[in-house]
Amino acid sequence: TNEANTGSAPPPSTPYAVKALGHICARRFDLLQRCSEMFRSALRADAPAPLKQQAVMVFVDLLRSEEGRTKPSVIKKGVATSKSSKEINAAAEATAAISAALQQHQTSLIASALDGRSAGVRHQALLLLKAMLEQGLVHPHSCIPKVMALELDAGERGCAELARATLRALYARHQPMVSAPGNAISGMHA
């Protein structure tokens, strides 16, 4: 975007434009790659908090839409029906596009969890980390210290409860990894 070149702040409508592009990308996954530079700009460490929050929200919405698309069967009036091969292929293409976009921006998305400027960004990033962990799109080792650090994000707008719930789910699946002393130390430094 041009704000990187001019040094000025983006217009107030920019987060809404990111939201609109996210809705379009949720239906047209082929556009995710074309919007890559816009997402990279919105996820920069110095990006305005509302813009960053909306960009992270787009990825949360993409994961949620992909989650519903990949269910193996649909229940209609008590009868389970299998998805057609066309629907299965479309779901596979959607999964591939979303996974590629998440991998491309993974470092910025994980770093957003510790954005000290905005509780909204931290909350959305933690929701995204939780969804990525549940779907196996990110290795737990890269997220555990940040989730542990967010456990201390108490207060009215903090996300300590969500972090605790995420850690409990991680502990149930990856007990040795979560309880490793190195993760607690890394979480204190985060």
**For residue 6, what pLDDT is reported?**
45
CA count, 13 A, side-chain hemisphere, 98: 29
Q: Looking at the chain, how many residues does it have? A: 190
Q: Of 6-20, 22-36, 103-117, which range is least confident? A: 6-20
The DSSP H or E segment spanning 76 is: strand 73-76
Kindly tell me if the per-residue pLDDT of 57 is higher than 80: yes
The model's pTM: 0.71
**For residue 177, what pLDDT is reported?**
79
**For residue 71, what pLDDT is reported?**
55
Q: Which position has the token pair 């787009």? A: 58
Give dist(CA 119, CA 113) in Å, integer: 9
Residue 87 or 59, more confident: 59
Give one DSSP letter per residue of 50-91, joined into a string: HHHHHHHHHHHHHHHHHHHHT-SEEEETTEEEEPPHHHHHHH
